[in-house]
Structure 1
Amino acid sequence: MTTISLRHARVRYGPLEALHGVTFAAPGPGLTVLLGRNGSGRSTALHALAGTLPLSGGAVVWDGADVTRMPAYERARCGLCLIPERQAAFGSLTVRENLELAADSYDIALDAYPRLEPLLARRAGTLSGGEQRMLALARALLARARVVLVDEPAQGMAPTVAARTYELLSELDACVVVAEQRLPRVLRGKAALVYELRRGAVVFSGETGEWERRAARRTGSSPSG
């Protein structure tokens, strides 16, 4: 079991503060969802966990150890995998070469995303947005990371592939943190932690069922509607 968390985290972009003392914990194995509109701070929170953005205050804690000053490459060596919203694959390399960077054998990746097999000789930069997301996620599956951070995992994917993607993420023996604008339909009624961010602050924390009931009260609809 592993846990990664932000504690009173602050991140600045020049004079602007993007995270205002954000605190949350993501345990694993399991799925944690960071919800929020563009500009809410959800992507910033992922990059703060990964070490690709420095904190101006607060801490990143991984399994009880303060890793705030640990460089991103060292976090990666320790088993952290970040899949950003853009440029998550090496565009100048082929699909096969991208997969071989993660593991010598990539049958697991092709089993997860059969659509990639006929694309093995294609350069990743020529793939559609959804195909590039599949490739990036396939590499994460091969990496067998302890912590997997994904910004909008199903972006550009067909609904069936998106559902398969969340099924794969939910089955990982890892702490999985995803950032989404809305709670994916496939997660409704499933066990997952939800943190909603708004303007750089956490405004809700709880399980998916609690979030759905809260959202239903705000819209006046039923939770399943």
Structure 2
Amino acid sequence: MSTIALRHARVHYGPLEALHGVTLTAPGPGLTVLLGRNGSGRTTVLHALAGTVALSGGAVVWDGTDVTGVPAHQRARRGLCLVPERRAVFGSLTVRENLGLTSARLGPALDAYPQLRPLLERRAGTLSGGEQRMLAVSRALLARARVVLVDEPVQGMSPEVAARTYELLSGLDACVVIAEQRLPPVLRGRPAVVYELRRGAVVFAGEAGELTR
């Protein structure tokens, strides 16, 4: 079980403040959904949790320990996996090589996404957008991370594959945080913590069912 949180977090990009004292908690095992339009701060929250952007104020707390000063690569070694929206796979490597960077056991990834099996010897950069997202998410599944952060996990996927992806992420024994523009219909009936962000601030915090009422 793992829990990760932001406490009064502020992030600046030059003179612009992207997060205005954001406080949120993502409990695990379980699913937390960050909602918001482009520019709302949801992607910045993921990167702040991962350590790939620095806080200008506040803290990142992981299982009760302040990890604000812990570099991103050390957070990864401790069991945090970030799947960004862009550049989530190594385009010059094959699908097999991409998966092999995470685990020598490819079976779980191919069971999750059988569509990847005939693509194993293809370079990841030649895949469609949906296929690249499948590859990126399958690497997160193989990582067996304690905290999994995924930005727009189903971008480019068919509705059937998207539903399967949400099922896979929801079933992980980890703290899973995903960022989406809207609450996916398939998640409305599932237990999930939801935060809605607008212009760098939290405007809603509650359960998925509360948001849809």
TM-score by length of 1: 0.94
Match of 2:60 in 1: 60
Letter in 2 for 1:166: Y
SS of 1:141's partner is helix
Is 1:128 equivalent to 2:128 in the alignment? yes
Kindly provide the CA deviation profile for residues 36-95 of structure 1, in whole angstroms up to 9, marking residues without a partner as x: 000000000000000000000000000000000000000000000000000000011000
In structure 2, the residue matched to 1:5 is: 5
- Who is 1:186 aligned against? 186
- Counterpart residue number, 2:118: 118
The residue identity in structure 1 corresponding to 2:186 is V
Task: Return the offset for 1:202.
Answer: 0.1
* Cα displacement string for residues 83-120 of structure 1 (whole angstroms, at most 9, x for unaligned residues): 00000000110000000000011100000000000000
- The equivalent residue for 1:195 is 195
Which aligned pairs between 1:16-165 and structure 2 lie closer than 5 A? 16-165=16-165
Long gaps (5+) in structure 2: none
Structure 2 counterpart of 1:125, which letter? Answer: G
What amino acid sits opposite 1:69 in the alignment? G
- CA distance in 2 between counterparts of 1:66 and 1:175 reads 17
2: CA distance, partners of 1:212 / 1:65: 34
Question: 2: CA distance between counterparts of 1:109 and 1:189?
Answer: 26
1:163 Cα deviation from its structure 2 partner: 0.2
Structure exhibiting the larger radius of gyration computed from Cα positions: 1
How many residues matched?
A: 213
Instruction: State percent identity of aligned pairs.
Output: 79
Q: SS at the partner of 1:172?
A: coil
Three-state SS of the structure 1 residue aligned to 2:86 is coil
Output one character per residue of 1:133-169: Cα deviation in whole Å (capped at 9) or x when no partner: 0000111111000000000000000000000000000
TM-score (norm 2): 1.00
| Matched letter for residue 177 of structure 1 | V
- Cα distance in 2 for partners of 1:100, 1:93 equals 10
C-alpha RMSD of the superposition: 0.4
**Can you give the 5+ residue segments of structure 1 that lack an aligned partner in the other structure?**
214-225
Supply the distance in 2 between the matched residues of 1:190 and 1:142 (Cα, whole angstroms): 23
Distance in 1 (alpha carbons) for counterparts of 2:2 and 2:61: 11
Deviation of 1:188 after TM superposition, in Å, equals 1.1
